[in-house]
């Protein structure tokens, strides 16, 4: 991954975390990595744990950012989420998968929050 893409991803994750804070979500962890995959943001929405994949693009030239959350990516996020839940002894907690798609477009970023974007894929 290029330094530019890494910086773009970090900027998107910061925007997403701020956005979630405004919605009264509590961010529990960012960039949780394990052998099977990675989760960008783990947050709590009321009693529900939310595993959030953030996709950021500079513009719409390659289509909407959420299209990058392929079935393979969903599988990796699911594995990481299950690992996180097991480590925190939260396997019985209600949980869901969201995608936050950000298109920067210069000064005013467009943020699309897709709640329950996909089911557990393992």
> What is the number of domains present in the chain?
1
Domain that holds residue 64: 3-118
- What length is written for the chain? 122
* pLDDT greater than 80 at residue 106: no
Q: Are 46 and 23 in contact (CB under 8 A)?
A: no
Q: What is the pTM of this model?
A: 0.95
Q: Region 46-64: what's the mean pLDDT? A: 94
How far is the C-alpha of 41 from the C-alpha of 75, rounded, in Å?
Answer: 16
Specify the higher pLDDT residue, 69 or 4: 69
How far is the C-alpha of 18 from the C-alpha of 15, rounded, in Å?
Answer: 5
Q: Which of 66, 82, 75, 67 is nearest to 114 (CA)?
A: 66
How far is the C-alpha of 101 from the C-alpha of 39, rounded, in Å?
Answer: 15
Cross-strand partners of 41? 30, 52
- CATH number assigned to the domain comprising residue 103: 3.40.1350.10
């Amino acid at each position: 991954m290029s330094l530019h893409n890494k910086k773009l991803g970090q900027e998107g994750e910061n925007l997403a975390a701020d956005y979630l804070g405004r919605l009264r979500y509590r961010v529990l962890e960012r960039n949780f990595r394990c052998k099977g995959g990675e989760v960008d943001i783990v947050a709590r929405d009321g009693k529900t744990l939310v595993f959030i994949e953030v996709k950021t693009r500079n513009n719409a030239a390659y289509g909407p950012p959420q299209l990058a959350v392929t079935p393979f990516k969903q599988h990796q996020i699911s594995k990481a989420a299950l690992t996180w839940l097991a480590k925190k002894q939260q396997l019985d907690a209600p949980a869901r998968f969201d995608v936050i798609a950000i298109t920067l477009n210069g000064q005013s970023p467009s943020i699309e929050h897709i709640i329950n974007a996909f089911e557990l894929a393992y």
